[in-house]
Chain A
Amino acid sequence: MLIEKYRKTIEACRFCPMCKIACTVGNITKNEANYPRGKVLILFTILKKMREFDEDVVERIYQCAICGLCKNWCISDYDIPELITAARADIVNSGKTPPRVLEIYENIKKTGNPYAMINDNEEISAVLDKEIRKIGKRVKILYFIGDTVFSHPEIFEATIRILNHAGINFTILSKENRSVELLYQLGFHKEAERLAKENAKVINETECEVIVTSDADEYLAFKRDYPRLGASLNSDIKIIHTTEYINLLLQENKLSFSREINKSVTYHDPSSLGRYLGVYEDPREVIQVIPGVKFKEMKWNKDKARCCGASGGLLFTNPEIAAKAAENVIDEAIEIGAEIITTASPLCKQSLIKHKEKLQRNSVEVYDITELIEKTM
């Protein structure tokens, strides 16, 4: 079993309640089995052969956002997110994948995205037809969209407009570029490996030097999971998130604003971009450059930012828990008087906008940072 590799973490955390206050899911359900101590205790009983990955154990292991708040809270950095990811891979490998997770997997396999959305609607195609350069065209910048952003055309359209506005010569892969991270987090490591390798092949063929992605999760996949999965990108390829790239373009005076946004704006840190990869300042710098914006920090921000329920597959496996996590973030934003919540991950946006009625009632809008930039150009 893969969890065997994390025995040290298991033995440290199985009885330790010190990160209880940080846990996203535990603090929603209040079930001890959902907190890190509980999950690890359960995994210890698996290692000890006191029980197996039965239906109920599997359910608890998928009730985790893998948001990394527990690891961040722990003074000793015990890596529960890695342990849970390993446990999910063990579950998949032993054929115990729960139906709900299997459904997501089938959706991703069939349509490329977990919501089984067919990516060939005319509107999207029209934008892409206009913008896509053929693979093989030798340009330095590759804008990697990925399946999740494909499901959010407003994000990739905004990004493309920004890149065009800045006069960037860039290319886009055809629709086959796949999202890897969700599969990886759900425990489908073999499938994630296959897709990462396919992606790496087509990316390498473009001979690009920089990959720009709007998807915080895929950014994490490129940086962390591709090397683990043996999907080798050309060694000189630099990978950056759109918020970092836009910040760079701003510093080089390649972007200008013609409109103001006279609103108070806050930023929700996606776990993958923030806690996992340490990108905290670029998004904030970009937002604060927008004319008229009054930037307000939420109480829990940067490495302590609350998870909105989008990570770890929670949005799909446990939508009710994810919805409550998103509501907690929205409440925090309302508390500080924010009129706009920005984020830098399509899944975070997706999780937050599910509370349409609450957002409308409180006159709060949710945008990806690229959308906000686009509005001012």
Chain B
Amino acid sequence: MGVEIDKKNYQHETIYRELENIVGPRDITDKEVDKIVYSVDYFWIPEMLIDRGCNPPMADYIVHPKTTEEVSRIIQVANTYKIPVTAWGGGSGSQGGALPVDGGIIIDIKKLDKVSKIDEKSLIVTTQAGIIAQNLEWELNERGHTMGHFPASMFCATIAGFLAPRGSGVLSTKYGKIEDMIVEMEVVLPTGEIIRTAPVPRHAAGPDLNQLFIGSEGTLGIITEATFKIHPIPEERRFRAFVFKNFHSAYEAGRKIMTKRLRPCTIRIYDEVETRRYVKRVIGVEKEGIYMVFGFDGDKEMVDLEERTAIKICQNEDGEDVGRKGGEHWWKHKYDFFFPPHMFWIPQMYGTMDTVATYDKMEKIFEELKKVIEKTYPQAYIIAHFSHWYEWGCMGYIRFIVDDPPQDPQEARKLHDAIWDTGINTILANGGMVNEHHGIGIKLARFMKKQYGPAFTVMEKIKQVLDPNNIMNPKKLGFGS
């Protein structure tokens, strides 16, 4: 009797060949050694599992398509066999959004990395969506332009990786979040059709399709190309630092800068703990209190005027002007925080509860969140900064840290999820959003119904219609299996 091949293995080979026929033998793998790497993104849970010697769920295949058409054909194969498809960009998401929790196919889009066109008349760029953000920025810089999008994941994330979870960069206060930068997109739908949204985002021809797919985290399709607004590299970009005696004064200064309708490119307020622990360590400024960096860019005369006005606002709130050096130093070292050993890392447990709310609510959210987390979980502490500001409110980048979490993976996960439950429920109860710019992924999926109430039905119905076989990034964004 010969060796019996079970059905799953028999089908595995069949699907492998089909996918190989699409992308070619070099751009497909089902090796364990690759699958383990694609089973971990920047979410703490899979990192912890690996640290404890456990394997997180793995994909069955990883493919690297080079064209939109290949993406479409892969998705058609997935529909035929009704197997999950998860899009993977740079793998730097913190919410588990790219994890293949139900196995299936990972579509790594990094080979879709060509800049298609820079239209210098309209100041827009069209690029394939798998390009690593810094590569696009360098290409724009060579022609005197910039995206104005500078997230911490600049060196590792793809443009699609920003679009999928509605990401944000450190100069978002002026240049907007990624959803403000978009002009047009090409998307492969869950059934394989290739669509384009509309040539411009400002029109009166029905809802904006861009905004349907931005933030959908690969559950409604895969973004393969995008056109963005770009900007001339500003003549002047200037940063300045202030130190405030208390959080309220700093917060008020930030709010007044925005409600006076100045156009800072950034405002960053670090709470007392972050000022003490990280500003000192990374930026090298030795000050007690609340550290603030703000910046303006553009024509020099406009920057002069806006900076003068912002300085006055800060001084009126009793802020101590520590000059440009502290601000410039932050700009120069803005990514340093995210390199080890500056970044939190295992054995620590950590999570960023980035939330956004109107100005009347954000201070309360921060106070409550800090109080409730630190009281309920004495082993945890909170640090925070506030770094994306809008005309109507701002974002709190509120992080919890547990220095010595349980070693047992189940116990560690229980504690992790419990802290998240407490944190998000506190945020929601006080009028904040479940997330501001990291997305939902699998980490926050369970809060989506609570966030939206009956409105979540709208999303569920769209999902059912667009993805009848429910194969696109299952379990993410609150869509069940």
Contact = CB atoms under 8 A, between A and B. Distances in A.
A20 B339 contact: no
Q: Is the interface of A mostly helix, strand, loop or mixed?
A: helix
Interface string B387-412: 00000000000000000000000000
Interface in B38-63: 38, 40, 42, 47, 50, 53, 55, 62
Interface in A11-25: 11-22
Contacts of A21: 132, 134-135, 155-156
B50 A31 contact: no
Contacts of B153: 17
A307 interface: no
A191 interface: no
B346 A74 contact: no
B439 interface: no
Interface string A1-36: 000000000011111111111100000011111000
Contacts of B111: 30
Contacts of B55: 50
B209 interface: no
Interface in B295-336: 335-336
- Which of A20, A44, A48, A78 has the most chain B CB within a 10 Å cutoff? A20
A20 B179 CA distance: 25
B34 A31 contact: yes
Q: Is the interface of B mostly helix, strand, loop or mixed?
A: loop
Given A12-B345, A17-B156, A21-B134, A51 B32 contact: yes
B338 interface: yes
Interface in A49-76: 49-51, 54, 56-57, 59-60, 73-76
B38 A42 contact: no
A15 B346 contact: yes
A42 B135 contact: no
A19 B155 contact: yes
Nearest to B32: A56
Contacts of A353: none
A196 B40 CA distance: 42
A54 B156 CA distance: 28
B453 interface: no
Contact of B91 (A12, A13, A29, A32): A32
A12 B42 contact: no
B90 interface: yes
A18 B132 contact: no
A76 B33 contact: no
A17 B91 contact: yes
A78 B339 CA distance: 10
A57 B40 contact: no
Given A17-B92, A50-B55, A42 B36 contact: yes
Given A16-B340, A38-B37, A45 B156 contact: no
A75 B345 contact: no
Given A13-B340, A21-B155, A30 B64 contact: yes
A38 B108 CA distance: 14
Nearest to A15: B47
B469 interface: no
Contacts of A22: 155
Contacts of A59: 33
Given A12-B340, A12-B341, A78-B340, A17 B42 contact: yes
Nearest to A9: B340
Interface in B104-126: 108, 110-111
Given A31-B64, A50-B55, A75-B336, A14 B37 contact: no
A44 B338 CA distance: 21
Contacts of B33: 33, 42, 51, 54, 56-57, 59-60
B131 to A, nearest CB: 11
A41 B346 CA distance: 13
Nearest to B29: A31
A229 B66 CA distance: 45
Contacts of B42: 15, 17
B31 interface: yes
Contacts of A19: 155-156
Contact of A14 (B50, B53, B64, B132): B50
B134 A15 contact: no
Interface string A327-368: 000000000000000000000000000000000000000000
8 contacts: A13-B340, A30-B111, A32-B34, A32-B38, A41-B36, A41-B40, A50-B55, A60-B33
Interface of B: 26, 29, 31-34, 36-38, 40, 42, 47, 50, 53, 55, 62, 64, 88, 90-92, 108, 110-111, 132, 134-135, 153, 155-156, 335-336, 338-343, 345-346
Please provide the 4 A-B residue pairs with the shortest distance between their CB atoms, ordered closest to farther: A17-B156, A20-B156, A12-B340, A30-B110
